[in-house]
A and B are shown apart, each in its own frame.
Chain A
């Protein structure tokens, strides 16, 4: 009995110590990444390469998803709004939900699963095949050469992807609302423009997407760098990246929304 209790305490203690050491490692790692950020701008060609991999190659999924999300929003929104005779407000509904929430959040989730997982797998495999150690042997800092460009590339790509997502969504809603259902184009755009405020809605949406981009990129490079150097370790790290980034996007979104849109005072 006492042995079992001791075992349970030992497990709890071990888990706590693991969590603390992981937290400490994450903090030291983030600090190291921040101090190596200038390296990403010194060797700009590496960063541009990473923008290509995480941004340009994510374009297709972002554009297509944005278009379809906008079209579905328009169909569902029209269904509800028409019950109240407020068909003309469809533009407001679609634009506000896309610019404030869906653009940053859905683009962030897609970005985490499309680009974040790739970053983790790449860095994790580099660690497994001891490429990172080889770099250190050649006096090349892997944080500057591998991690910083991927982090900066992700942070730069994410706001652009979110803006493209929202734009395509608004365009999709225009296609369904105006071209398919037949809402007047003038009132669609006019009501939208009257209701959407640049600083309040659009800038806050862009801030959200920058925060999400930072979170996803940081988690992705950390999980990759921290992966156990085995095939299984890389696969676990990739899964953890997607799960942790998705959860942190949703949690951060709630916190940011509380501060940004907590009614008007």
Chain B
């Protein structure tokens, strides 16, 4: 096999190899739209973050506007401090509410931002003051049973065991 043919084939091989890397980056990894390099950092403190993980999306009105970068526990207040990177181009007013939400019953946990009406925007390194913790399903069910039991024996659809448990709790 002569030199020119080998060069041609290697050229084709390298080209389709690089094309494959580009395909992975653009079509599979979506490099263009998820540029998380630029942007600014804000943080928020939650009483309970539920199943939130690093790299979870931050959404406003369902649109991904950033990612969770770091989660740690504040040793003084025992609150979870979540720092997130918001893409450049999105700004949020200072009375924005950050809540921990779940998409569907088993879906991923994300942070939802609902914008307020303040004219001042959160700057780089700022903190969201109003937060809403994750809804823990077990607590919700416990609360529901407790309320049902507390409202008296006439309450329907509460079985004896739950009522007794609630009575013990009192």
Contact with A along B1-36 (1 / 0, CB 8 A): 001001101101110111011011101111101100
List A contacts of B148 (CB < 8 A).
none
Assess whether A49 is in contact with B20, with CB atoms less than 8 Å apart.
Answer: no
Known: A164-B16, A164-B17. A196 touches B30 (CB 8 A): yes
- Report the separation of the CA atoms of residues A151 and B117 in the bound assembly, to the nearest whole angstrom: 63
List B contacts of A189 (CB < 8 A).
27
Assess whether A197 is in contact with B34, with CB atoms less than 8 Å apart.
Answer: yes
Complex A-B: 6 CB contacts under 8 Å: A51-B13, A52-B13, A55-B13, A159-B21, A160-B14, A167-B23
Partner of B17, one of A52, A84, A161, A200: A161
Cβ of A201 < 8 Å from any Cβ of B?
yes
Assess whether B24 is in contact with A202, with CB atoms less than 8 Å apart.
Answer: yes
Cβ of A214 < 8 Å from any Cβ of B?
no
Assess whether A160 is in contact with B6, with CB atoms less than 8 Å apart.
Answer: no
- Report the separation of the CA atoms of residues A186 and B30 in the bound assembly, to the nearest whole angstrom: 14
Determine the residue in chain B with the shortest Cβ distance to A164.
Answer: B20
Assess whether A167 is in contact with B20, with CB atoms less than 8 Å apart.
Answer: yes
How many interface residues does chain B have, given as a range? Answer: 20 to 34
Number of A-B pairs, beta carbon distance below 8 Å: 87
Report how many residues on chain A are interfacial, defined by Cβ distance under 8 Å. 35
Assess whether A56 is in contact with B13, with CB atoms less than 8 Å apart.
Answer: yes
Assess whether A198 is in contact with B3, with CB atoms less than 8 Å apart.
Answer: no
Query: Which of A's residues lie within 8 Å of B, judged by CB?
Result: 45, 48-49, 51-52, 55-56, 59, 84, 86, 95, 99, 157, 159-161, 163-164, 166-167, 170, 189, 192-194, 196-198, 200-202, 205-206, 264-265
Min CB gap A158→B, angstroms = 10
Interface of A, helix, strand, loop or mixed by DSSP? helix
- Report the separation of the CA atoms of residues A189 and B14 in the bound assembly, to the nearest whole angstrom: 26
List B contacts of A48 (CB < 8 A).
6-7, 10
Known: A163-B21, A167-B20. A194 touches B30 (CB 8 A): yes
- Report the separation of the CA atoms of residues A196 and B55 in the bound assembly, to the nearest whole angstrom: 11
Known: A45-B3, A56-B9. A198 touches B34 (CB 8 A): yes
Q: Select the residue from B25, B28, B33, B53 with max chain A CB neighbours within 10 A.
A: B28
- Report the separation of the CA atoms of residues A138 and B64 in the bound assembly, to the nearest whole angstrom: 66
Assess whether B28 is in contact with A99, with CB atoms less than 8 Å apart.
Answer: yes
List B contacts of A95 (CB < 8 A).
28
List B contacts of A194 (CB < 8 A).
30, 57, 64
- Report the separation of the CA atoms of residues A135 and B8 in the bound assembly, to the nearest whole angstrom: 29
Assess whether B24 is in contact with A163, with CB atoms less than 8 Å apart.
Answer: yes
Cβ of B54 < 8 Å from any Cβ of A?
yes
Determine the residue in chain B with the shortest Cβ distance to A264.
Answer: B54
Known: A163-B20, A206-B21. A193 touches B7 (CB 8 A): no
Partner of A196, one of B9, B10, B29: B29
List B contacts of A201 (CB < 8 A).
29
